[in-house]
Amino acid sequence: MKRCILCCLALLCMWIFPLSSVGQSLNEDILEMQVKGVTLDPQGNTPVVILAEPQGQRAFPIWIGLSEARAIVLAMEGVATPRPLTHALLRNILTDLKVEIVRVVITDVQNNTFYATILLRQEQRTLTIDARPSDAIALALQANAPVFVTRKLLDAVRTVALQEPAPPPLSTKALGMHVQNLDATLASVFQVASAEGVLVSSVEAGGQAERYGLRRGDVITGVDGKPIRDLQDFLDRCKDKKLGQEVVFQVTRDQSPLVIRLLLSSFDEGK
């Protein structure tokens, strides 16, 4: 927390006191990468973010912390939180100060520690900020900024050949919300006990789910007191209900359990 506050103060100071720092040249030998997702290292059960060449077959992992993994997954899934978390807060500060996040560059690796910079632009000035790759990537995703690596780094790290892309998580629209299967990574990021249940990935404005208090990022772990394992369980239990009947959801939100009761007015679903 102290580090986050210091980062915010440093950014504010840079805005108040003009600097003549020049960011990395656009002609620097760098390659744009895609953030493919977050997974878990099966040996250490530690979150890992995967970066991959957009048109190539090479990818490499960077081990990150749980809070950064959660921020990256939330940004990739488009899940909003009731109040801004650290990386959203930094994005909001920069936006209000009219500072553009131009790009993030993963620059080097030394003794298994990765290094990164964030290139900022304010009017005619450019600033290069040292950052941990996990923070830089989370901030880039929040701001829709590109992520690059140096060719030197890509040649130095141990890359893996990408296989055929995995199918996207099974998801559907029901009760005015989009829900999707949980997996071990999402369960770890949202800090729920297991991968059983479904994640609410979006809620339609004015729909049933919103009216009764469901939010994006909620994890539905049970229906009418019965646990649900996956999306199919969820659909089967809800389909048994008739219009006008009550559906009781057991929900985990920010690691806290709660109960949400919904009166069924329609049941719409679709990919």
Cβ(201)–Cβ(179) under 8 Å? yes
Tell me the pLDDT band of 167, cut-offs 50, 70 and 90.
Answer: low
Q: What local confidence, expressed as pLDDT, does residue 232 receive?
A: 86
Residues 69-105 have pLDDT tens digits of 888 988 887 777 778 888 888 888 998 999 999 999 9
Tell me the pLDDT band of 13, cut-offs 50, 70 and 90.
Answer: very low
CA–CA separation, 38 and 64 (whole Å): 9
Joined tokens for residue 4: 């986050």
Q: What local confidence, expressed as pLDDT, does residue 144 receive?
A: 93
Domain 171-263: CATH superfamily, name plus number: PDZ domain (2.30.42.10)
**What is the residue extent of each domain of the chain?**
20-161, 171-263
Share of the chain above pLDDT 90, in %: 26
Tell me the pLDDT band of 135, cut-offs 50, 70 and 90.
Answer: very high
Residues 208-266 have pLDDT tens digits of 888 899 988 889 999 998 998 888 888 888 777 777 788 899 998 888 889 999 887 76
Q: Does 1.10.287.110 match the CATH number of domain 20-161?
A: no
Q: What local confidence, expressed as pLDDT, does residue 32 receive?
A: 92
Tell me the pLDDT band of 38, cut-offs 50, 70 and 90.
Answer: confident
Average model confidence (pLDDT) across the chain: 79
Q: Report how far Cα 57 is from the mean position of its chain's Cα atoms.
A: 23
Joined tokens for residue 179: 């829900």
Q: What local confidence, expressed as pLDDT, does residue 267 receive?
A: 58
Residue recorded with tokens 């729909």 = 207
- Write out 46-95 in H/E/C secondary structure: EEEEEEECCCCCEEEEEECCHHHHHHHHHHHHCCCCCCCCHHHHHHHHHH
Per-residue pLDDT, averaged over 110-116, amounts to 91
